[in-house]
Amino acid sequence: MTQACKLNLVVAHALEAKPLIEFFTLTQQLTAQPFPIYRNQRGLHLIVAGMGRQAAATATAYLGQSQADISGTVAGWLNVGIAGHQQLDIGEGVLAHKIIEKETAECFYPTQLFSGFTSSEVITVDEPELEYPENAAYEMEASGFYASVLRFVSAELAQVYKIISDNPLNPVKNIDASFVCESINGQCEQIQQLLSGLEDVVKQYNAAYQLPREYEQFASQLKLSASYRTQLKRLCQRYHALGRSAELRGLTKKTFTSARQLIAQLKLTLQRSESH
C-alpha cells in the first residue's frame, strides 16, 4: 500500500497484534503511552486496546484524540479480532454489516463499501459466548470501538472485521495463543485488501472536505471557543466541497468583530449561494 493518509488498526490483544505487526512492518512508538501503539512509514497505526468494549472505546478515543489534526483530515479505522460464530467455519473472516451491543441493545450499521467479503451481524458480549444462539459473530470489543470512533469519523470510514475462532463444533476452550496468531495471520492478505479500500475512501473524503487555508486566516483574526472553532471548520470545509472557495476567499477580506458575526455571515453567504 502506498499511503498518504492515516489508517488505524484497533485490536484487543497482543496475540492478535503480533501477526499484523510483522505483516505490515510496524514498530512500537517509544514515547510513554497508556496503550501500546505501533506504526510504519506509510501512515498505518495499530493500537492494542485490551479486552472488552470499554477498553476498546477508551483506546480508540485516545488514538483519535492524539491524531487530531488542525487541517481537518481524517483517518480510516478498522477493528480486527477473533470471534465465535454459530455456523461459519474456523478461520473464515467476516465484515460487520450490523453491530449489536448485547448489554444495552444499541446497534450500529457500518457502511457496506467493499465487495468480496462475507458479511455478518456482530454481537458484542461482556463474557465469552458459549451457546451461539444467533447466526452471528460473537466478540467483546466491536460496539465499544464503533461508538467511540464515530466521534471522529463518519460510518463509511470505520469497519469491523472478525476472524472466526470458535463455533459449536470447536468451542472457545480449545483456543490457545498459537491458534490466535495463526487465525490472524491467515487473514492478513484480506486485512490488507480492506485497508487499501479504506485508504481510497479516506483520500476521496479528505479531498472533498479538506480544510481550506482561509480557515486559518479567519481563526488568526478572532478568539474562537471550541464550539465556534468546530463550526468554522465545518463551514469552511462545506464551501470547499461545494466549489465555493472564491466566495470564502472574498470573505477573508472583510473585518469581523466577533466569532458570532463571522459564523453568521458564512452561513448567510452559503445559504444565498445554495438558493440560486
Mean pLDDT of the chain: 93
d(Cα 225, Cα 231) in Å, to the nearest integer? Answer: 10
What CATH number has the domain bearing residue 119?
A: 3.40.50.1580
CB 78 within 8 Å of CB 159: yes
Mark whether 123 and 14 lie in a shared domain: yes
End position of a domain, from candidates 208, 231, 247: 208
Residue 49 lies in a domain: yes
* Domain residue limits at 225: 211-275
In a 13 Å sphere around the CA of 150, the CA atoms on its Cβ side amount to 12
For residue 230, give the DSSP letter.
H
Mark whether 134 and 236 lie in a shared domain: no
Mark whether 132 and 255 lie in a shared domain: no
Residue 1 lies in a domain: no
Mark whether 142 and 224 lie in a shared domain: no
* pLDDT category of residue 2 using cuts at 50, 70 and 90: very low
Mark whether 151 and 20 lie in a shared domain: yes
Residue 263 lies in a domain: yes
- Helix residue ranges, H only, the chain: 14-23, 53-66, 142-149, 177-185, 188-209, 214-221, 226-241, 245-251, 259-275
* pLDDT category of residue 238 using cuts at 50, 70 and 90: confident
Mark whether 216 and 249 lie in a shared domain: yes
Residue 140 lies in a domain: yes
* pLDDT over 70 percentage in the chain: 96
Which range among 1-15, 222-236, 249-263 shows the weakest confidence by mean pLDDT?
Answer: 1-15
* pLDDT category of residue 86 using cuts at 50, 70 and 90: very high
Mark whether 226 and 123 lie in a shared domain: no
Mark whether 161 and 233 lie in a shared domain: no
Mark whether 48 and 105 lie in a shared domain: yes
In a 13 Å sphere around the CA of 275, the CA atoms on its Cβ side amount to 6
pLDDT in tens, 113-167: 999 999 999 999 999 999 999 999 999 999 999 999 999 999 999 999 999 999 9
Residue 2 lies in a domain: no
pLDDT in tens, 65-81: 998 766 678 899 999 99
CB 169 within 8 Å of CB 161: no
List residues bridging with 118 in a β-sheet.
Answer: 94
Mark whether 91 and 189 lie in a shared domain: yes
Model confidence, pTM: 0.83
Task: Give the Å distances, CA to CA, from 43 to 80, 88, 156, 187, 261.
Answer: 17, 33, 19, 21, 39
Position 276 pLDDT exceeds 50:
yes
Mark whether 60 and 189 lie in a shared domain: yes
User: For residue 3, what pLDDT is reported?
Assistant: 40
Mark whether 155 and 238 lie in a shared domain: no
- How many domains are there within the chain? 2
Position 44 pLDDT exceeds 80:
yes
pLDDT in tens, 180-211: 999 999 999 999 999 999 999 999 988 877 77
